[in-house]
Structure 1
């Protein structure tokens, strides 16, 4: 299982390097199912893995001038505030035992994994769907309040389940702020890095951290992002995105079944 887990960690980085998102949504399932890490602790570990890997990945985009600094701040500040509020107030407020549905007891871990699975299904749709005409979206002026709202949603997702939210950030940057796709990917990576690492710092002292294990997973994910960055020069990420979306969809359905029907 550990060998499978570390191999999957490389896949996390490859996805981030190749398409600028998607990989982070695999981190928690990899930690929970392949490394048997507690769900809440897995969301904390995921913040470090995703944040560190995205930070490394954003370096090449920064060198090429593919990061919009002002946009990252404009989008990122609401996200950071939302991460802080979520990690400090919302997540601790969820009781260990949430409710009973028939004979099924819904614990905090189950609730988080079901929410995560539903998010994976939603994310897979945005990856699978074909490149539709976006003339209406592209001609509308960016709505500041809507963009701030997107930042808050991304921050809550990051704080609650440890996913970077690239599948939410990139469409917002492309459709609302009219950024070129490569600039959107680079800017997304830096937003994910800042949100995730700050979110992880908020959790220090609250959860026991196995640094040796955490750094090992991060190292493999970092190797993956270099592979992904190299492949991005050889392969069109847009062609691989739908295939990865189907993989995320299957994973999401599997988690839903495992956490509900098979419990």
Structure 2
């Protein structure tokens, strides 16, 4: 087994741990691992990432059903709108050049990292209650936007989903678990739109997925013992560094063409 493959499997475990522990964030690492470590093309890496995220988050949701923290109704509402966005994002992504996808992904990684470092804010109790219609509109806007991002770039979007669920009044444990359901639905929709048009190197992706699933199980166990805010910030700095490297590498690759 080569050093890049060993490195990729270690990072796959990190992806899973983050999903299991925080309900998001880890999937943002899958694409750069596939491109920077394993040398895949961006489009191929995005399709592969969607498979990894879909499988890992689905298993994580099933394992959390016994805790009764998955809010199926809320998750389905976000998920249905997100699946529509995911199909649209994946369809648009087929016409976007690889280099532009890499630039967009690097930018999203940096935004994600800053959101993780900053932390999630629970809405203040004094905040004016929202009407039912404003809740529905918010579900549609956030659901479609996150789904589009998932389908286009292969990122789960948990860093957007969890704060949105907190605004709807879900406790952090329920928001984390329910976000995994939304991520699973969005990723599956995005994958469905790409699986027949993009070649996925299964000999690499299947072992990567297995390590990510193992990591998600470990993450759920660690969630009972470790401080999630500290881990979230530490992981945020790591994602920030990877995002800067990915963006810089892409820009340097473009430099001779400018």
TM-score (norm 1): 0.89
Could you tell me which runs of 5 or more consecutive residues in structure 2 were left unpaired when the two chains were aligned.
none
Shift of 1:92: 2.3
Provide the rounded CA distance (Å) in 1 between the counterparts of 2:30 and 2:140: 26
Provide the rounded CA distance (Å) in 1 between the counterparts of 2:122 and 2:204: 45
Alignment of 1:15-164 (within 5 A): 15-88=18-91, 90-94=92-96, 108-130=97-119, 134-135=123-124, 138-141=127-130, 143-164=135-156
Provide the rounded CA distance (Å) in 2 between the counterparts of 1:79 and 1:209: 23
Could you tell me which runs of 5 or more consecutive residues in structure 1 were left unpaired when the two chains were aligned.
95-107
Shift of 1:252: 1.2
Provide the rounded CA distance (Å) in 1 between the counterparts of 2:127 and 2:228: 21
**In the alignment, is residue 252 of structure 1 matched against residue 221 of structure 2?**
no
Asked whether the 8 Å contact 1:86–1:159 carries over to 2, the reply is: yes
> 1:76-102, CA deviations, whole angstroms, 9 ceiling, x for partnerless residues?
1111011112223x12232xxxxxxxx
Provide the rounded CA distance (Å) in 2 between the counterparts of 1:138 and 1:126: 22
Shift of 1:160: 0.3
Distance 1:235 1:110, change over 3 A: same
Aligned residues: 248
SS in 2 for 1:93: coil
Aligned-residue RMSD, C-alpha: 1.7
Provide the rounded CA distance (Å) in 2 between the counterparts of 1:147 and 1:236: 30
Asked whether the 8 Å contact 1:47–1:162 carries over to 2, the reply is: yes
Asked whether the 8 Å contact 2:123–2:166 carries over to 1, the reply is: no
Asked whether the 8 Å contact 2:23–2:180 carries over to 1, the reply is: yes
Distance 1:70 1:130, change over 3 A: closer
Asked whether the 8 Å contact 2:87–2:151 carries over to 1, the reply is: yes
Provide the rounded CA distance (Å) in 1 between the counterparts of 2:126 and 2:11: 35
TM-score (norm 2): 0.91
Distance 1:118 1:140, change over 3 A: farther
Alignment of 1:234-253 (within 5 A): 234-253=225-244
Shift of 1:212: 2.5
> 1:192-226, CA deviations, whole angstroms, 9 ceiling, x for partnerless residues?
11211232122222122322222111001111111
